[in-house]
Structure 1
C-alpha cells in the first residue's frame, strides 16, 4: 500500500494580509498528479485542513475541489482535525463521505476505531487522533492526569489495544508537538500550563505515524515524521523544502519512505539596507517577484516605507525599522529616564521613536508646552 502523508494545509490563511487561495489551490491540486504518477492508494491529512474553525465559503470550495481531484485520481482520503480547524464542522456528514472514499476521523471517543483498508497483503488499520485539547479530552477519555502527554498516552493505549485484537498493519494520524521537532513562527502554540510536547515513545507499536502541526518537514524516526505545510506561512520557513512523504507498506509493515518536493508558487526573501539602497540596488532585481520582508537601517524612520517599496517590489509585505545605531541598548525605558527632567524625557522619546535628535525649533516648542502645563498646575 502506498500512502501520501500531508498535513497543515491551512486553507484560507493569509500571508501578511495577502490572500493565498490561488497559491494554495495551485500547490494542493498538484497532489492529484502525484497520486496518479506514484500510484498512491491513500492520502492522509494530519490536521489543520483549514486555517480557522469557521472557514470562508471560498476556502471550503477550494478544499472540495482539491479533495475531489484526489479522489478522481484514485486515492482514498483520511482526514483528522488539528488545533486550527473545527472537529465538529469537518466531521459533519462523515458517514456519508465514507461511502465515497473520504474518511473523517474527528471524534475523540472513536479514535480507536480505525479506517479499515486493504491491499494484496491484507488489512491496514488507519487510526485518526483528532487534536486533543487536554482538558476536554481527558474527560472524554476518563483520565485524571492533565496535559498533552497523558491524553495522547491514553489515546495510543486504546489504539494499541484495538490493534492487538486484529492482524493488520497500522498507520496513526496525530496532530501534536513531539519532542525533538523544530517549530517555526507560523504555528499556533498548543501549550497548556507551559507544557505542549510529548515523547516519541508515546507512539510506539505502530508501523507509521503521520504527524501534523509543525510546518517544516521532519524525520524524528524512520516511522515517525512531520510532512510540514505545503506552503510557507512565515518568513522563518523561507529555507524549508516543502514536501510530502510517500510511505510504502508491504506484507511486513513499513518498507520505505521517500520525499516528494512540492512546487513553490512564490518564493520568500528578506533584504536589509536603507530604503534608498533597497530601491536602487540592481542586485535585488531577482527579488522583485518574491514575497519580501525588508529590514530598513535608515537612521531616521522613512515615511510610508511599505508603499514606496511596493513601487519596485509588488509583493513586499513586511517592513521592520532597525537603525544601525541609536536603538541598540540593553537598558529598560524606566532605567533610561530615571532622574531626568520632563524636557529630557521628551527629548529622549523623540530620539528613540524617530532615530534623530529634536531640532532647535522642536525643542523650543517642547519647552513652551511644558511651561504652559506648569502654569496650569500652579493655578
Structure 2
C-alpha cells in the first residue's frame, strides 16, 4: 500500500489569511490532492491540518472542495488532531469534516488518567492516532506509559500510527533546535515501548522541519515537516533548509517490504523565501538595500531581513514601518523586517501585519503566559495568572452532554477559584 504523509499545514493561520503568501496554502493542498489521486495513495495528515479548530466558513468550503475530490476518487484521508486544531469538545472543523465523510478522524478518549486510542480499519491496516494537546499531555501520556491501544478482532495486525508529538530520534532533539516545539520530548525508545506489535510506520507531526532530510531513505518513522509553516520562524527555516539543498516536501511511503521505502516529494507550490542577516551604517543604506533586493529577487515570494542599524532612533522606526508596507504593496510579496535589541530598538514588523509580536523563540505555553500577563495588566486584574489558566482549562475541558445543572456547577467551580484568589485581598 502507498501512503502520502504530510502534516502541519496550519490552514487559517495569519500568513494564510493576511499576507501575499496566502494563495500558496491552497496551492499546496491542490498539489497534494492531485498527487494522491494519480498514485491512488491513502493520505495521512499528522496533526494541525488547520491552525485552529474554529475556522472561517469560506476556508471550510474551499478545503471541502478538495477533500470531496479525494472522496470521489475513493482516496481515504486519515487525520489526527494536533495541538492547534484539537477540539476536545468534539465541535471543531475536523469533527465536521469527519461527520460529512470527507476525512476519517482518529478517535481517542481520556479515561481514568489514560489515553485510549481506537483503530480505523483501512485496506487491511489498523490506523491509530496520538493527538496533540495544548498542554503537551500527549508527551506525558507516552513517557508515563499511560497510552492504551484498543485492539480490534482482526487477525491481521498491520498497524500505522499517526502521532502529533515531539520525538527524539536520528540524533535530533526538537527542543534544542527550536523552543516553539515545547519543552517535553519523547525519546524514540519510549515511543516504541507503547506501540502495538505489527506497527509498520509512525507518521509523525508537530515538528516543522523534515527529519530525516534525505530525498530517499528506508525508515519506519519520519517527520515530513510543514509545507509552508505558520509564522516567520518557519519561513526563515525554509530559507535555511534551501541553503542545504533541502526543500519543503511531503512524503510518499511504500509499505511493501520489511522496512518502508520513503521518498520526499518536493513541493512545487511552496513559496521561495530569502533570508538575510546584516548590519548597516544608516537607515538610508538599509532602505536602498531592501529596495534593490526585493526589486531584483523576481524568483522569490518572501523576504526576511534581520538588520542592525547603527544609531537607529525611535522616531525612525515608524518611517521604516511605512517603507516596508509600501515595498510590499508595490511588489505584492511578503517583506519582513526585524530590528533586534542590539540596535537600541526592539521591534518586529512586516507589511502584512505591523502589530505582529515575535514569538518564534517561545513555546506555546510561554506565548500563552505572555498574552495572559499582558491582558491581565491592561484590565487591572489582581487574580494570579495560574488561576486564570485554571479557569481557562475548566472551560476548555468541559465536554459531553450538558445536564440541566451544567451551568450552575460550572459557575460554582469558577466562583470557588475566584474566592481562593482574592482571599485576604
TM-score, structure 1 length as denominator? 0.68
Alignment partner of 1:258: what SS? strand
In the alignment of these two chains, the number of paired residues is: 304
Q: Is this contact kept in 2: 1:48–1:81, CA < 8 A?
A: yes
Alignment partner of 2:117: what SS? coil
Q: How do residues 150-161 of structure 1 correspond to structure 2 at under 5 angstroms?
A: 150=143, 153-155=145-147, 158-159=148-149
Q: 2:250 aligns with which of 244, 251, 256?
A: 244
Cα gap change, 1:296/1:40 in structure 2, threshold over 3 Å: closer, same or farther? farther
Q: Which runs of 5 or more residues in structure 2 are unaligned?
A: 242-246, 346-425
CA distance in 1, matches of 2:40, 2:211: 21
Q: How do residues 40-51 of structure 1 correspond to structure 2 at under 5 angstroms?
A: 40-51=40-51
Which residue does 1:35 correspond to in 2? 36
- Is 2:324 the counterpart of 1:309? yes
Which residue does 2:337 correspond to in 1? 319
**How far is the alpha carbon of 1:73 from its aligned partner?**
4.3
Cα gap change, 1:280/1:115 in structure 2, threshold over 3 Å: closer, same or farther? same
Larger CA deviation: 277-286 vs 222-231: 277-286
**How far is the alpha carbon of 1:217 from its aligned partner?**
1.1
Which residue does 1:342 correspond to in 2? none
Which residue does 1:92 correspond to in 2? 95
Q: Is this contact kept in 2: 1:130–1:174, CA < 8 A?
A: yes
Q: Is this contact kept in 2: 1:124–1:170, CA < 8 A?
A: yes
Alignment partner of 1:92: what SS? helix
CA distance in 1, matches of 2:48, 2:270: 20
Q: Which runs of 5 or more residues in structure 1 are unaligned?
A: 138-145, 328-379
- Is 2:263 the counterpart of 1:258? yes
Residue by residue, what CA displacement relative to the aligned partner does 1:9-28 show, whole Å, maximum 9, x if unpaired? 11101139527542211111
Alignment partner of 1:108: what SS? strand
CA distance in 2, matches of 1:318, 1:298: 19
**How far is the alpha carbon of 1:268 from its aligned partner?**
2.1
- Is 2:302 the counterpart of 1:291? yes
Q: Is this contact kept in 2: 1:207–1:223, CA < 8 A?
A: yes
CA distance in 2, matches of 1:94, 1:26: 20
Which residue does 1:126 correspond to in 2? 127
Which residue does 1:207 correspond to in 2? 200
Q: How do residues 45-64 of structure 1 correspond to structure 2 at under 5 angstroms?
A: 45-64=45-64
CA distance in 2, matches of 1:325, 1:58: 42
CA distance in 1, matches of 2:140, 2:11: 28
Q: How do residues 122-271 of structure 1 correspond to structure 2 at under 5 angstroms?
A: 123-132=124-133, 147-150=140-143, 153-155=145-147, 158-159=148-149, 162=151, 166-179=155-168, 180-182=172-174, 188-191=180-183, 196-204=184-192, 205=197, 206-219=199-212, 222-233=219-230, 234=232, 235-237=235-237, 238-240=239-241, 241-250=247-256, 252-271=257-276
Q: Is this contact kept in 2: 1:83–1:190, CA < 8 A?
A: no
Alignment partner of 2:303: what SS? strand
Cα gap change, 1:64/1:284 in structure 2, threshold over 3 Å: closer, same or farther? closer
**How far is the alpha carbon of 1:44 from its aligned partner?**
0.6
**How far is the alpha carbon of 1:41 from its aligned partner?**
2.5
Cα gap change, 1:186/1:326 in structure 2, threshold over 3 Å: closer, same or farther? closer
Cα gap change, 1:283/1:57 in structure 2, threshold over 3 Å: closer, same or farther? closer
CA distance in 1, matches of 2:176, 2:142: 21
Q: Is this contact kept in 1: 2:175–2:182, CA < 8 A?
A: no
**How far is the alpha carbon of 1:72 from its aligned partner?**
3.6
Cα gap change, 1:136/1:297 in structure 2, threshold over 3 Å: closer, same or farther? closer
Cα gap change, 1:114/1:311 in structure 2, threshold over 3 Å: closer, same or farther? same
**How far is the alpha carbon of 1:243 from its aligned partner?**
0.5
Alignment partner of 2:125: what SS? strand
Structure of larger gyration radius:
1
Q: Is this contact kept in 2: 1:36–1:73, CA < 8 A?
A: yes
Cα gap change, 1:117/1:25 in structure 2, threshold over 3 Å: closer, same or farther? same
Cα gap change, 1:217/1:113 in structure 2, threshold over 3 Å: closer, same or farther? same
CA distance in 1, matches of 2:47, 2:130: 9
CA distance in 1, matches of 2:97, 2:34: 25
Q: Is this contact kept in 2: 1:81–1:90, CA < 8 A?
A: no
**How far is the alpha carbon of 1:183 from its aligned partner?**
6.1
RMSD: 3.5
Alignment partner of 1:246: what SS? strand
CA distance in 1, matches of 2:179, 2:320: 28
Alignment partner of 1:62: what SS? helix
Larger CA deviation: 43-52 vs 316-325: 316-325
